[in-house]
Amino acid sequence: MGNKQMHKVLVVDDEEPILELLKYNLEKGGYDVKTASDGSKAVDIAKKFVPDLVLLDIMMPKMDGVETCRLLRDIPELQKTFVVFLTARSEEYSEVAAFDVGADDYITKPIKPRALMSRISALFRRDSKKSSPSSLITIGELTIDRTSYTIKVNDKEINLPKKEFELLYFLAQNPNKVFSREDLLQNIWGSDVYVLARTVDVHIRKVREKIGDDFITTVKGVGYKFSLN
């Protein structure tokens, strides 16, 4: 590992063989790994462990992955954490539900360890490339600080899940420029993650609910832009 940062990963699945397989491969790849067999345990562990990534099964007893993800996204310390869903279900509605609650990626079982490791590496690599000197953006009463992943509107601090934050930050970096849904999917989720276009609309709606309707404008038939008043 050398001086490379050891990323922390929490694996959540009710199937013991899958937990063991993923833990083995992740630790072999240099990650610090903890496991949980259900959603409520995962939330408790995540609060103390503060993982960089959560691999989360959707179909679990007691509390499913979607509800677990929703609870994880409500924890301020986990705003930067990636959440990747693992599921045997390939129906479109499962994908919509996963991304609606803030998932970063969606991987269908059976899981191929080598492909999974590659996917995780790509997530962390893309995230590190997003760091830039212009980490602080101030426009009117809105301040966006990418270093601390915080947003302030009229000096009131607002927490946004990672993808909502990235979406707002990207648009604010390019004020008055219109981006199509495809542009935003490419820049925020990346080309190696399959996400439905509707996911962009859902995230825009959620950002507006939290910071107000004054900043992001819908350009009918084209896409969205960050408006400078």
Query: Kindly report the CA angle at 128 between 178 and 155, in degrees rounded to 5?
Result: 60
Instruction: For residue 144, count CB atoms less than 10 angstroms from its CB and return exposed for 0-12, middle for 13-18, buried for 19 or more.
Output: buried
Tens-place pLDDT, residues 180-218: 999 998 888 877 666 777 889 989 999 999 999 889 999
Q: What's the CA gap between 106 and 103, in Å, rounded?
A: 7
Tens-place pLDDT, residues 92-116: 666 677 777 888 888 888 888 888 8
Residue 100's nearest CA partner among 125, 86, 83, 88 is 83
**pLDDT of 163 above 90:** no
Strands (E), 109-205: 136-139, 142-145, 150-153, 156-158
Look up the pTM and report it.
Answer: 0.66
Q: Which residue in the block uniquely carries the two structure tokens 């819908």?
A: 218
Tens-place pLDDT, residues 130-154: 555 457 888 888 999 888 888 999 8
